[in-house]
Amino acid sequence: MALLLASCASEPPVLPAGPSPNVRLGPELGLLHFRTTHDLTDVLLDEQGEAHVFIAAASTREIHHVVVSPEGALQRERVATDSSPSDISAAFDREGKIHLLLDGRHLVREGDAWRVASDAPWASAGMAVHRARLVPLDKGLAWIFLVKGGEVGARGRWDWYGFGGGFGAGIIFPWHSASQKLVIVPEALTGDASWYVLDPQDNLDISDVMPAADSHGNLHVVYNASRSGLAASSQPRYARIDLMQIPAGAERQLPDAAASANRLFPVTGDQIPFFGTDPFGLSQAAAAVDPASGAVLVVRAHDASISLLQGNWRLPLPLPLSRYSQPKLAPAGGEAFHLMAVTDADVIYLLYAQDNWSAPVTLGKPGVASMWGSIGGGLAIASRGRNRAFAVWPTETGIVGRWIEGAAEMQAKPAGGATVDQGDESSIPSDLLDFSLGKAALITPGWTTGYAAAMAAGTNGKLTKKLHDSGQWQALARVVLHDQYGDDLRWYYLGRAAEAMALCDTAARYYRISLERSEKFSTRCLGIACHGFKLPEWVEVRLTAVEALRAAGKCSEPPVTDP
């Protein structure tokens, strides 16, 4: 019964962290002093190892550029005055020039001066754009922006809204909305520009766009497709676009005659599995791409992360944090990633490497001077896909930052890569050694025992089912062993994980314990807490499968331990 109640718990899953990351933190540097409120930052690292921090100070309506040397020396310049943009984005082009977008305004730094440029693709098309940003590519820049769907041939939609009292006394009315679509325009090297339009086939809004490029000419875009009103929904999606390859047979003309010289190519994104249709979608999320491999990592606030490796979505272990917000990511090389986030009192840093999260390290204290302010836009972290990163965040007296210097081994995985949770796993990590030998220990539920374990298992109930359904057996075993709740479902999970690793004796032992737990009301899962598993019937099926493995000579010997 405790587990049935716990399955509705809202606390996010938490697992023990790995060791503290092998990093050295530089001193906290005061980058710019002013009264903080709704400020924005963006950070770049150049080839010489310097950090370029761009700050839009809301209280002074000024844009500043601060250069930070590897030794911590600062150079400051004012880029613009009387400017209070809602978005800021900076990027280096292939010649090393800095480009800066302040909403739809484009600035370029040439020599020691900034000039206003008029070459943004929406300028010639006469379009109003939102959330404009630049992404560097190997052969130029990509312009990425949101427009009304009608500008690129997408349909609008009717949404239903309501207000007023309950019991049928409220007023419900329709409202027609123009859908919002994402456009991607790679820098044209010759001829006319190619415009890629994301999901023009439906009338959903695109928002919370997180684009990043790899070193092979691919643009990876993580985003939300949503609608509002009484039927509000949000579906996290992902699209991979080969900007070096023009889609065959997909070309269409832009509907606006002023932009008819440009070519439009529709691109369809795919739903990210496991996230479902969470109404919060990716409203507080971060995504990053490993430049060499194209691996993608997505982290949502207060949630487990998810990764895309070799075309397959996988659930890594949850973060070792009970609550965290405003995640920011940057690649660290070798499919490792730098993460900064905010807890109740601190700005923290974690390293994701070899399919696991490190323990958090405190970077500093966040804050803003205005009670109506927010810190989200002032947080940023950047690297050049290597083990060195620079992080910035707001305090009440200004924007601060510090260098994060990682160990050299972060730049490459060990030979053969880290152990992954796919199929018949022959490599047993040391933390699963007792499990592989059939020595797993879980708390047997009772009317007065196992309540804390039941709460942990209930909180992780959806996660363990996802790990089971996606075949991530080592991760599944780790979560169950950490929760320690020993009902029939959790022993079934351990048996299924052992079976997938071809540990026949171990799997049979765990399955038999699951059968024993199913015989008692206090030790079997009930109702929605079973997550659709039919026990003990499914255990009998799996025991038959184990015997088939044994008969075929496919069982693996458990690892040998020293006496």
Backbone angles phi, psi at 349, to 5 degrees: -125, 140
More confident position, 129 or 2: 129
Using 50, 70 and 90 to split pLDDT, how confident is the model at 11? Answer: low
* Per-residue pLDDT tens digits for 475-524: 899 889 988 999 999 999 999 999 999 999 999 999 999 999 999 999 99
Select the more confidently predicted residue: 174 or 4: 174
- State the average pLDDT over residues 306-310: 89
Instruction: Tell me which residue of 549, 315, 334, 308 sits closest to 421, measured CA to CA.
Output: 315
Percent of the chain clearing pLDDT 90 (strictly above): 57
pLDDT for residue 442: 96
- Residue 365 DSSP code: -
pLDDT digits (tens, 9 = 90+) for 217-267: 899 999 999 888 777 778 899 999 998 765 554 555 445 433 445 678 899
pTM, rounded to two decimals: 0.81
Query: What is the tens place of the pLDDT at every residue in 119-158?
Result: 899 987 888 999 999 999 887 899 999 999 988 888 777 7
Q: What is the pLDDT of residue 105?
A: 94
pLDDT band at 1 (very low <50, low <70, confident <90, very high): very low
Residue 112 confidence (pLDDT) above 50: yes
Mean pLDDT is lowest, of 45-49, 365-369, 390-394, 427-431, for: 427-431
CB-based contact 25:72 (threshold 8 Å): no
φ, ψ of residue 69 in degrees (nearest 5) = -75, 165
Q: Which residue, 59, 60, 77, 56, is CA-closest to 68? A: 77
Residue of higher predicted confidence among 297 and 425? 297
Q: How confident is the model at residue 96 (pLDDT cuts 50, 70, 90)?
A: very high
Alpha helices by DSSP H, 460-503 = 461-469, 473-483, 488-500
CA-to-CA distance for 46 and 508, rounded, in angstroms? 56
Q: What is the pLDDT of residue 19?
A: 73
User: In angstroms, rounded to a whole number, what is the distance separating the alpha carbons of residues 242 and 245?
Assistant: 6
Whether the pLDDT of residue 386 is over 90: the answer is no
pLDDT at 28 over 90: yes
Identify the pLDDT of residue 303. 83
Confidence of residue 317 (pLDDT cuts 50, 70, 90): confident
Residue partners of 557: CB distance under 8 A and separation at least 6 = none
Predicted confidence at residue 13, as pLDDT, reads 60
Average pLDDT value for the chain: 85
Q: Which residue has the higher pLDDT, 161 or 8?
A: 161
- The string of pLDDT tens digits covering residues 345-367 is 899 999 999 888 999 999 999 99
Q: Report the pLDDT averaged over residues 96-109.
A: 95
Q: What is the pLDDT confidence band of residue 319, given thresholds at 50, 70 and 90?
A: confident
pLDDT of 172 over the 80 cut: no
CA nearest to 402, candidates 345, 357, 338, 343? 338
Q: At what angle do helices 504-518 and 537-551 cross, to 10 degrees?
A: 160
Q: Give me the pLDDT at residue 278, please.
A: 63
CB 281, CB 272: distance < 8 Å: no
Rounded distance, CA 297 to CA 350, Å? 14
